[in-house]
Structure 1
Amino acid sequence: MAHSAEQIAAELRQRIDSGELQPGDRLPTMDAITEQYSVSRQTARNALNILKNEGLVIYRGGASGTTVRQRPTERMIRSRGMERDNLGYYSGANVQHWRLVEGTRTEVVQEPVPADIARYLGIEPGTFVTARKRLNGDPEVPEHRQLTDSYLHPAAVEAVPVIAGNSGLGGIYDRIEEWAEQPIAWEEEVTAAIPSPDEATALLLPPGVPLLRIIRTSTVKVDGRPLVVEVNDIRMSAELFSVRYPMTRKGAARWPVQPASADFYTS
């Protein structure tokens, strides 16, 4: 029975997951896979590419061939919550020292708003908006970095034009709160995404590593109605970072609880 690339990749993946193949170990060559499984070189190549695209192996060429990739065993937990220092607001004490990655700067552009961001802003997809884009990171740990794209609601830019340029001390959040004369309310949604080639390059991501994506909305009330004035699209390596938060007890889950009256698995 002929093996498919997926079946070959599954066998090799199991050897990696079980620890039989350790980080740095070389995988069988395409010739060895071709002979062992009686498949074409293209099928062997496809099998190795499957593992490469999953981030399990890396191809270095030459005598090194394809080897098991060393993957992080721990993730940095990204604490969430808005805090403040002499520079203004920042999200999470463990990134307070992060700055623009050397050689980069904040870019302010006018571009069509992506459809998913438009939903939060309550505007039509493709509407041209002001976006502030930057690449932040830990000056001491090169691979610890994040992309942050800040999309501004046109009404906020019209009311506070300075946020579309040099927003001054404290940045756009201070200018928005000065205009609204009230504190911004923030909310975050955590999701995942496949990186684009440009995102993978900026974040130094190996093939197969997804993005951890945090979408933060900034809301104030204008004429008594809530307005999402900014959406912050934050992306980082899902292999290097995670988000942790406490689960709160709500409603009938508050202690002490009432005895259960039905079996969840048979109801």
Structure 2
Amino acid sequence: MPRTAEEIAAGLRERIHSGELQPGDRLPTMEALVEEHGVNRQTARTALTILKNEGLVEYKGGRAGTFVREKPATRMVRARAMERDNLGYYSGANVQHWRLVEGTRTEVGEEPVPADIAGYLGVEPGTPVVARKRINGDPDVPAYRQLTDSYLHPDAVAAVPVIAGNSGLGGIYDRIEEWARQPISWEEEITAITPSPVETAALLMPPGVPLLRVIRTSTVKVDGRQLVVEVNDIRFSAEVFSIRYPMTRRGEAKWPVQPASADFYTS
């Protein structure tokens, strides 16, 4: 019985994951897949497209064919900490030298806040807010880049209008701390998402690679309430980067610890 495109893709996927097919190896041609599995060319083409969309293979055109995609041998580890130099705050020593990607600029304008960002910012979805968007990257390594979208709370913009434009030396965080007369508190949440075509193109990513997404909230205390003044939506390739941070001991995990009194596997 002829196999489906999904079944053919599953067989090739297993050969890739097992190491039988190595990065740079050529996959069977559509003609070979047609003959081997008794299917038509469209089914064979669909099977290869499935693997391409998963980021496992790449089509090099013409008679070259389809190959197992070569991935970065290592990932750049992104340590998560706020640091500071003469330019202001930056999030991690290995991105200190990053700048706007050549040919781009920070885009500033008012737009309806996305529904998921609205929840962090504490406003209704669709509320007009000031957004500051840019592409940052390593000037020496084209693949090292990230999208950074900053959404500002309307109350912060009303109190410090300059953060909606050219915020001056030190940027918006310095202006906010000068206004609040206290340090900003930051908190980050890390997740992964499927990139849009626009994000894939901007980050020079092949199809099928997920994005790491860091949502950073900036909070100050204003008039007796904790106000999230800014939400930073940071996205970068999960294939090029990883995130590392120390684990802290809390509560009963503080050393010295008490002897365990129950069996985890039978409780």
Equivalent residue of 1:123, what SS? coil
Alignment partners' CA distance in 2, 1:182 and 1:153: 17
Distance 2:51 2:265 in 1: 37
Give CA-to-partner distance per residue, 1:209-263, whole Å, 9 cap, x none: 1101101000000111100000000000000001111111111111222222222
Structure 1 residue 206 corresponds to structure 2 residue 226: no
Cα distance in 1 for partners of 2:114, 2:33 equals 44
- Aligned-partner residue type, residue 5 of structure 1: A
Runs of 5+ unmatched residues, structure 2: none
Q: Give me the TM-score of the superposition, normalised by structure 2.
A: 0.98
> Per-residue displacement from partner, 1:37-58 (whole Å, max 9, x unpaired)?
1122222112111111111100
TM superposition shift of 1:2:
3.0
> How far apart are the structure 2 equivalents of 1:47 and 1:248?
46
Shift of 1:17: 1.7
Q: Does residue 1:146 correspond to 2:146, yes or no?
A: yes
TM-aligned CA deviation for residue 21 of structure 1: 1.5
RMSD, aligned CA: 0.9
Deviations 1:142-162 (A, max 9, x none): 010000000000000000000
2:42 paired residue number: 42
Q: Percent identity?
A: 79
Partner amino acid for 2:25?
A: D
Structure 1 stretches lacking a partner, 5+ long: none
Which deviates more from structure 2 when the two are superposed, residues 251-260 or residues 241-250?
251-260
Between the aligned partners of 1:201 and 1:142, the Cα distance in structure 2 is 13
In structure 2, the CA distance between the partners of 1:24 and 1:158, relative to structure 1 (3 Å rule), is same
Instruction: Give secondary structure in 2 for the equivalent of 1:74.
Output: coil
Counterpart CA distance in 2 for 1:73 and 1:266 is: 41
Q: For residue 121 of structure 1, report the CA deviation from its aligned partner.
A: 0.6
TM normalised by structure 1 equals: 0.98
**Cross-structure match for 1:119:** 119
Number of residue-to-residue matches in the alignment: 267
1:246 aligns with 2:238: no
d(CA) in 2 for partners of 1:190, 1:110: 26
Alignment of structure 1 residues 1-267 onto 2, 5 Å: 1-267=1-267
